[in-house]
Amino acid sequence: MYSYQGQNYTSLDEVPSDILTAFIQQNVLTETIAIQQNKILFWEEHYMRLMASMRILRMEIPLTFTMEHLAEKIQDITRHNVDNDFSGKVHLNVAKMAQPTFEQPIPKTAYSITVNPLEAPVFLYQKATQPIDLYKDHYLSTGLYHTIENAAAQWRAMAWTYVYENNYCDGILLNTDKHIIESLKGALFLVKGNKISTPTLDQGCRKTVYRKQLLALLEKSSDYEVIEEAISPFSIQKADELFVLSDADGLYSIGQYRKKVFKNEYTVKIYSLFLAYINSQL
């Protein structure tokens, strides 16, 4: 089952060709959303992030793009894919129908919803079995544009090639100031004692929903000191633990960076704390 422009199709052959062409030829903005037992997690935050990204990209926001309407369409397609309670990830994809022109500087918008049912919980903890390393072939500029999920997609694809060629679990990205941005999979956190550091948004990291939720949760806890700051790559060697938080993949701890081997004691506690918070939203 496929969903385009709010309509469900049993085959891609049934989808109007101009809509399919938009998703093939234009840059696609994707919002990855977790659903647990038919409950859309952090839906308001995902919706506001999507709207902000569309405004930055100068995309048309149709009048039908209300929070209630999109939630209804998401739940409609999940009901068609799974008979009982749905748990998994949904990708809400948005694209311009055409390139801007003088006659139509802001083209109409197309959207699709793709579904990925999961038997496992939607928010997992994993421990990487391969090391992580810096990606230094190219650097990302800072600024508002790079907080968008699909910004610099081609640049990130080159970084993934480097990761796969060298058998790493992930790659740490740097900006033009040679400061850490994030990893390819998500927001990067360094743990030193009870101090948890992560790059600020103006360093160029993506403004993800889980990053925002976790920071707010940790700041309420007296057990941790949370600092958003510019982070040098040299700080990685001094950290006790290193973990990545991703809207798509959950939380995973990094085991090794070059010769530095990391623990995961605090990371496991943070995962348990965040998982309990997610379950409280159901």
Domains of the chain: 2-117 (3.30.470.10), 125-280 (3.20.10.10)
User: What's the token pair of residue 39?
Assistant: 């409950």
Task: Identify whether the C-beta of residue 73 lies closer than 8 Å to the C-beta of residue 112.
Answer: no
Distances (CA, A) of 195 to 90, 191, 200, 212: 34, 6, 15, 17
User: What's the token pair of residue 252?
Assistant: 């995973």
Task: Identify whether the C-beta of residue 134 lies closer than 8 Å to the C-beta of residue 232.
Answer: no
Q: How confident is the model at residue 3 (pLDDT cuts 50, 70, 90)?
A: very high
Tens digit of each residue's pLDDT (9 = 90 or more) over 176-210: 999 999 999 999 999 999 999 999 999 999 999 99
Tens digit of each residue's pLDDT (9 = 90 or more) over 216-251: 999 999 999 999 999 999 999 999 999 999 988 899
Q: Is the pLDDT of residue 83 over 70?
A: no
Token pair 């083209």 is found at 107
Looking at residues 14-24, what average pLDDT do you find? 95
Q: What is the pLDDT of residue 23?
A: 95
Burial 271-281 (b: 16+ CB within 10 A, else e): beebbeebeee
Q: Of 183, 166, 181, whose CA–CA distance to 258 is shortest?
A: 166
Q: What are φ and ψ of residue 30, in 5° steps?
A: -120, 135
Task: Identify whether the C-beta of residue 42 lies closer than 8 Å to the C-beta of residue 90.
Answer: no
Q: What is the pLDDT of residue 64?
A: 92
Continuous segment of H or E residues that includes residue 275: helix 265-280
User: What's the token pair of residue 216?
Assistant: 């707010």
In sequence order, the β-bridge partners of residue 244 are 188, 252
Q: How confident is the model at residue 141 (pLDDT cuts 50, 70, 90)?
A: confident
Q: What is the pLDDT of residue 170?
A: 97
Distances (CA, A) of 237 to 102, 253, 256, 267: 52, 15, 10, 17
Q: How confident is the model at residue 149 (pLDDT cuts 50, 70, 90)?
A: confident
Q: Is the pLDDT of residue 82 over 90?
A: no
- Whole-model pTM: value is 0.93
What residue ranges in the chain does DSSP mark as E strands?
2-4, 7-9, 28-36, 39-40, 88-96, 109-117, 125-127, 132-140, 170-175, 180-183, 187-192, 195-198, 225-228, 241-246, 250-253, 256-257, 260-261
Tens digit of each residue's pLDDT (9 = 90 or more) over 246-280: 988 899 999 999 999 999 999 999 999 999 999 99
% of residues, the chain, pLDDT over 90: 85
Lowest mean pLDDT across 18-32, 145-159, 175-189: 145-159
Tens digit of each residue's pLDDT (9 = 90 or more) over 29-39: 999 999 998 89
Q: What is the mean pLDDT of the chain?
A: 94
